[in-house]
């Protein structure tokens, strides 16, 4: 037989074997796996496809590559060992509170694509919607993760937010976050000494009043005296600045864009432990 034919048939057979074994077998076993219906018929079927803005948020999650630092799978309570007081223990995923049971294939039947992830630079997000559904937390964290965790190396996502002039009342969607995070969205702003001097010259009255009311612990009547004392020395000016940076910008507010809102809706919709599936028991 011709050598070319031998190679062709051999390559076909070896490759087909893995295709049959690794792809087609699981395909026939898992394709169209049905949602779980509570035997008492009391709850909705689980899982359910993402709806509306959460579905749009999944696309944002995809395009920003969140999956490359955050997995979406809770591993078995018997997986991964560590030692505590000389005793070997397992199951960090569950003990870290990332879920209360392992995730199984049925948890993913409506995922397109299924973003199990391969890296945990950050925590697992399988159940983030249940763990932390806070609107303010997620949005300030997405605007700049250092607002929540000083050690975070997660990217800021300022393009998911718009900074706008406040017209009338502040929007109730506005992020409740100090000016250090909003002057230059995505970064952490801090004026240099000379800039701070200039700001103090221009707005000293308002800044000191806010300080007295918020953190100074002095009577409002003392505003001028407190201000003089603070501005006189370097340490005082720094204290005043530290406080001022945590106050909101008066004229501006930061609100999520449609994409930002959608991503939040997707995150809070993530709960791959919602129902105790029988097959997940160990």
Partner 1 sequence: MVAVASKELTPAERQRFARERAAIDASCRGPVLFLMCSAVFWLVVGSFLAFVASVKLHSPYFLADVSELTFGRARMAHLQAVGIGWASLAVMAAATWQMCRLSRVGLVYPKLVVVGGAAWNVGMVLAVGGVLLGDGQSVEWLDAPPYAPPFFIAGVGIVSASVVATFRRRVERHVYVTQWYILAAVFWFPWLYTVAQLMIFWMPATGVIQPIVNWWFGHNYLGLWMTPVAVGTAYYLIPKIIGRPVYSYYLSIIGFWSLALFYSWAGMHHLIGGPIPAWLASASVVGSMMMFIPVIAAAINHHMTMAGHFHHLRYSPALRFTVFGAVTYTAVSAQGSIEALRNFSQVAHFTHYTVAHAHLGAYGFFTMIMFGLCYYMVPRLTGREWASSTLIRVHFWCAAVGITIYFTGLSIGGWWQGRMLNDPNVPMGNIVNYLLPFLMSRSVAGVLLTAGHLCFATLVVMNVTGWGQGRTGGPTYFTDKAPPARRQTAVAS
Please report, as residue ranges, which positions from 72 to 111 form the binding site for partner 1 (by CB under 8 A): 73, 75-76, 79-84, 92, 95-96, 102-111
Q: Which of 144, 143, 179 is closest to 253 using CA atoms?
A: 179
Residue of 145, 216, 227, 260 interacting with partner 1 (CB under 8 A): 145
Radius of gyration (Cα) for the chain, nearest Å? 27
Smallest gap, in angstroms, from Cβ of residue 88 to partner 1?
11
Contact 80, 92 (CB under 8 A): yes
| Phi, psi (degrees; rounded to nearest 5) at 89 | -130, 165
Which range, of 68-76, 171-179, 202-210, 218-226, touches partner 1 by CB under 8 A? 68-76
By CB under 8 A, residue 8 contacts partner 1: yes
Contact 124, 118 (CB under 8 A): no
Which range, of 48-56, 134-142, 155-163, 166-174, touches partner 1 by CB under 8 A? 155-163
Residue of 133, 155, 191, 236 interacting with partner 1 (CB under 8 A): 155
Q: Please count the residues of the chain.
A: 282
> Quick one: 88 or 169, whose CB is closer to partner 1?
88
Q: How many residues sit close enough to partner 1 to count as binding (CB under 8 A)?
A: 83
Classified as helix, coil or strand, 82 is: strand
By CB under 8 A, residue 18 contacts partner 1: yes
> Quick one: 56 or 231, whose CB is closer to partner 1?
56
By CB under 8 A, residue 9 contacts partner 1: no
H/E segment holding residue 256:
strand 252-256
Smallest gap, in angstroms, from Cβ of residue 178 to partner 1?
17
Q: Which of 88, 114, 116, 113 is closest to 102 using CA atoms?
A: 116
| Residues 120-139 within binding reach of partner 1 (CB under 8 A) | 120-123
Q: Which of 142, 154, 226, 240 is closest to 191 using CA atoms?
A: 240
Contact 261, 53 (CB under 8 A): yes
Smallest gap, in angstroms, from Cβ of residue 38 to partner 1?
20
Classified as helix, coil or strand, 89 is: strand
By CB under 8 A, residue 156 contacts partner 1: yes
By CB under 8 A, residue 226 contacts partner 1: no
Please report, to the nearest 10 degrees, the dihedral formed by the alpha carbons of residues 17, 18, 19, 20 taken in order: 50
By CB under 8 A, residue 33 contacts partner 1: yes
By CB under 8 A, residue 220 contacts partner 1: no
């Amino acid at each position: 037989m011709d050598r070319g034919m031998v190679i062709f048939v051999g390559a076909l057979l070896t490759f087909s074997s893995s295709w049959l074994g690794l792809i087609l077998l699981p395909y026939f076993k898992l394709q169209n796996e049905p949602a779980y219906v509570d035997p008492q018929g009391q709850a909705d079927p689980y899982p359910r496809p993402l709806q509306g803005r959460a579905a749009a948020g999944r696309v944002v999650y995809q395009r920003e590559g969140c999956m490359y630092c955050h997995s979406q799978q809770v591993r078995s309570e018997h997986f991964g060992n560590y030692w505590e007081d000389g005793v070997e223990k397992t199951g960090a995923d569950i003990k870290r509170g990332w879920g209360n049971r392992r995730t199984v294939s049925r948890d993913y039947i409506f995922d397109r694509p299924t973003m199990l992830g391969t890296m945990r630079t950050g925590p697992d997000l399988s159940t983030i919607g249940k763990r932390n559904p806070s609107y303010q937390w997620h949005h300030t964290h997405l605007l700049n993760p250092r607002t929540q965790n000083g050690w975070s190396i997660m990217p800021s996502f300022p393009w998911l937010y718009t900074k706008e002039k406040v017209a009338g009342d502040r929007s109730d969607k506005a992020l409740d976050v100090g000016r250090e995070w909003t002057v230059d969205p995505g970064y952490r702003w801090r004026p240099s000494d000379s800039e701070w001097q200039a700001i103090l010259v221009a707005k000293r009255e308002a800044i000191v009043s806010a300080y007295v009311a918020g953190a100074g612990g002095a009577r409002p009547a003392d505003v001028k005296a407190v201000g003089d004392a603070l501005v006189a020395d370097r340490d005082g000016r720094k204290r005043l600045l530290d406080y001022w940076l945590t106050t909101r910008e008066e004229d501006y507010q930061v609100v999520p864009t449609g994409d930002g809102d959608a991503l939040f809706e997707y995150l809070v919709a993530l709960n791959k432990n919602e129902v105790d599936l029988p097959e997940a028991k160990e």
